[in-house]
Structure 1
Amino acid sequence: MPEAWKRAVALEDTEVDVVVVGFGGAGACAAIEAADRGADVLVVDRFQGGGATAISGGVVYAGGGTVYQKEAGCDDSVEAMLNYLRLEVGDAVSPATLERFCADSVANLDWLAANGVPFEGSLAPRKTSYPTNDYYLYYSGSEAAPPFRDAATPAPRGHRAKGRGTSGKVLFKALARAATQRRVRVARQTRVTGLTTDADGRVTGVECRRITSTTGRLAHRWLSVSNRKLNIYFRPAGRLLDGPIRRLEARHGRTWRVRARRGVILAAGGFVFNRKMLAEHAPPYRSGSSLGTIGDDGSGIRLGESAGGATARMHRVSAWRFFNPPLSLVEGVLVNRDGERLCNELYYGARIGDHIAEQRDAKAYLIIDQRILDAAKSQLAGQTLWFQRWQANYLFTVGHLKAGNIEELATRTGIDPAGLRRTLDTYNADARSGKDRMGKDAEHVHPLERGPFYAFDCSLRTQRGFPCPMITLGGLTVDEESGAVTRVDGSAIPGLYAAGRTAVGVCSESYVSGLSIADCVFSGRRAGSAAAGAS
Structure 2
Amino acid sequence: MTNISRRGFLKTSGVGVVATVGTFTAATASAQQQKWDKEADVIVVGLGGAGAATAITAADNGADVIVIERQPAATLRSNTRMSGGIFHCPDKSGNKAALKEYAKAMFSGENIPGKLEGEQPQVSDGLAEAWAEYTPGLLDWMKKQDPKFQAFATPGFKGAAFPTFPGAKDCGYQVYRSSYPDRIPAGFNTPCYNGPKEKAISGEAFWLCLDNGIKTRADKIKVDYETRGRDLVQNDKGEVIGVIAEQNGKKVAYKARKGVVLCSGGYEYSLPMRQAFLEGPGVEGWAFYGTTFNEGDGIAMGQKAGAGIMKAGKAASRIIMPAPVRHNGMRLGMITPAVGSGHAIVVNNYGKRYAAEHKVTKDPSRYFFYKEAVKFDIDKLDYPNSPSWFIFDETLRKSKPLVGLGISTPGYGFVDYGAADNSDAVKKGWILKADTIEELGKKIKAIKENGNKMDPAALAETVKNYNAACAAGEDKEFGRLKSTLQPVSDGPFYAVPLVAGGPNTKGGLAANAKREVLDWNLQPIPGLYAVGEIASALKFVYQGGGNLTECLVFGQVAGKEVAKQPNRG
Please give the TM-score of this superposition, normalised by the length of structure 1.
0.71
CA apart distance, 1:202: 1.3
Q: Deviations over 1:191-249 (max 9, x none)?
A: 33322212221112222344xxxxxxxxxxxxxxxxxxxxxxxxxxxxxxxxxxxxxx3
Alignment match of 2:268 (pick from 272, 281, 286)? 272
Quote the Cα distance in structure 1 between the aligned partners of 2:107 and 2:491: 38
Q: Which protein has the bigger helix share? A: 1
User: Residues 85 and 332 of structure 1: is their aligned pair in 2 closer, same or farther, counting only changes over 3 Å?
Assistant: farther
Which residue is equivalent to 1:420? 459
| Pair 1:496 & 2:528 matched | yes
| Pair 1:160 & 2:178 matched | yes
Matched letter for residue 321 of structure 1: I
User: Residues 120 and 197 of structure 1: is their aligned pair in 2 closer, same or farther, counting only changes over 3 Å?
Assistant: closer
Contact in 2 for aligned 1:285/1:317 (Cα 8 Å): no
| Pair 1:204 & 2:241 matched | yes
Alignment match of 1:523 (pick from 529, 551, 554)? 554
Which residue is equivalent to 2:518? 486
Which residue is equivalent to 1:329? 341
Alignment match of 2:144 (pick from 114, 117, 142)? 114
Which residue is equivalent to 2:85? 59
User: Residues 392 and 403 of structure 1: is their aligned pair in 2 closer, same or farther, counting only changes over 3 Å?
Assistant: same
CA apart distance, 1:77: 9.8
Alignment match of 2:483 (pick from 417, 438, 443)? 443
| Pair 1:471 & 2:471 matched | no
Structure 1 residues 76-475: aligned runs within 5 Å? 86=105, 90=109, 91-92=117-118, 96=125, 97-98=127-128, 100-101=130-131, 104-116=134-146, 119-120=149-150, 137-140=154-157, 148=162, 157-162=175-180, 165-166=191-192, 167-182=202-217, 183-210=220-247, 249-250=248-249, 253=250, 255-282=251-278, 284-287=281-284, 288-293=286-291, 295-319=293-317, 321=320, 329-347=341-359, 348=361, 350-358=367-375, 359-360=383-384, 362-369=386-393, 373-374=394-395, 377-378=398-399, 390=419, 392-393=421-422, 394=424, 398-403=429-434, 405-414=436-445, 415-417=454-456, 419-420=458-459, 423-424=462-463, 426-436=465-475, 437-448=477-488, 450=489, 452=491, 454-460=493-499, 470-475=503-508
Q: Secondary structure at the match of 1:256?
A: strand
User: Residues 269 and 401 of structure 1: is their aligned pair in 2 closer, same or farther, counting only changes over 3 Å?
Assistant: closer
Contact in 2 for aligned 1:65/1:78 (Cα 8 Å): no
User: Residues 198 and 510 of structure 1: is their aligned pair in 2 closer, same or farther, counting only changes over 3 Å?
Assistant: same
Q: Deviations over 1:265-288 (max 9, x none)?
A: 111122222222212222634245
Which residue is equivalent to 2:6? none
Quote the Cα distance in structure 1 between the aligned partners of 2:45 and 2:313: 24
CA apart distance, 1:363: 1.0
User: Residues 109 and 344 of structure 1: is their aligned pair in 2 closer, same or farther, counting only changes over 3 Å?
Assistant: farther
CA apart distance, 1:491: 0.9
Which residue is equivalent to 2:53? 29
Q: Deviations over 1:139-195 (max 9, x none)?
A: 249978xxx566667987241333663543433233233224332222233333322
Contact in 1 for aligned 2:51/2:531 (Cα 8 Å): yes
CA apart distance, 1:525: 1.5
Q: Secondary structure at the match of 1:296?
A: coil
User: Residues 77 and 36 of structure 1: is their aligned pair in 2 closer, same or farther, counting only changes over 3 Å?
Assistant: closer
Matched letter for residue 18 of structure 1: V
Quote the Cα distance in structure 2 between the aligned partners of 1:112 and 1:34: 16
Quote the Cα distance in structure 1 between the aligned partners of 2:107 and 2:473: 28
Q: Which protein has the bigger strand share? A: 2
CA apart distance, 1:13: 3.5
Which residue is equivalent to 1:220? none
Quote the Cα distance in structure 2 between the aligned partners of 1:534 and 1:482: 12
Q: Deviations over 1:103-132 (max 9, x none)?
A: 532212321121117554556xxxxxxxxx
Structure 2 residue runs of 5 or longer lacking an equivalent are 1-34, 110-116, 182-189, 193-201, 322-334, 376-382, 412-416, 446-453
User: Residues 53 and 343 of structure 1: is their aligned pair in 2 closer, same or farther, counting only changes over 3 Å?
Assistant: same
Quote the Cα distance in structure 1 between the aligned partners of 2:314 and 2:298: 17
Quote the Cα distance in structure 2 between the aligned partners of 1:143 and 1:458: 31
The count of residues paired between Structure 1 and Structure 2 equals 449
Contact in 2 for aligned 1:64/1:77 (Cα 8 Å): no
Quote the Cα distance in structure 2 between the aligned partners of 1:28 and 1:199: 30
Q: For structure 1, which segment, 75-84 or 308-317, has the greater mean C-alpha deviation from structure 2 after superposition? A: 75-84
Matched letter for residue 42 of structure 1: I
Quote the Cα distance in structure 1 between the aligned partners of 2:340 and 2:304: 50
Quote the Cα distance in structure 2 between the aligned partners of 1:77 and 1:15: 40
Which residue is equivalent to 2:197? none
CA apart distance, 1:495: 1.0
Q: Secondary structure at the match of 1:269?
A: coil
Contact in 2 for aligned 1:138/1:157 (Cα 8 Å): no
Quote the Cα distance in structure 2 between the aligned partners of 1:329 and 1:76: 36
Backbone CA RMSD of aligned residues: 4.0
Q: Deviations over 1:299-336 (max 9, x none)?
A: 11111111110112222334452786558834422110
Q: Secondary structure at the match of 1:113?
A: helix
| Pair 1:48 & 2:85 matched | no
Contact in 1 for aligned 2:340/2:358 (Cα 8 Å): no
Quote the Cα distance in structure 2 between the aligned partners of 1:276 and 1:39: 36
Q: Secondary structure at the match of 2:473?
A: coil
Contact in 2 for aligned 1:63/1:77 (Cα 8 Å): no
Contact in 1 for aligned 2:157/2:544 (Cα 8 Å): yes
Contact in 2 for aligned 1:55/1:169 (Cα 8 Å): yes
Contact in 1 for aligned 2:266/2:508 (Cα 8 Å): yes
Structure 1 residue runs of 5 or longer lacking an equivalent are 1-10, 68-74, 124-136, 211-248, 462-467
Quote the Cα distance in structure 1 between the aligned partners of 2:505 and 2:39: 33
Quote the Cα distance in structure 1 between the aligned partners of 2:342 and 2:107: 21
Q: Deviations over 1:359-378 (max 9, x none)?
A: 43721112234xxx325524
Q: Secondary structure at the match of 1:101?
A: helix
Quote the Cα distance in structure 2 between the aligned partners of 1:149 and 1:522: 22
Quote the Cα distance in structure 1 between the aligned partners of 2:346 and 2:158: 18
CA apart distance, 1:390: 3.4
Identity of matched residues, %? 25
Please give the TM-score of this superposition, normalised by the length of structure 2.
0.67
Q: Secondary structure at the match of 2:82?
A: coil
Contact in 2 for aligned 1:64/1:79 (Cα 8 Å): no
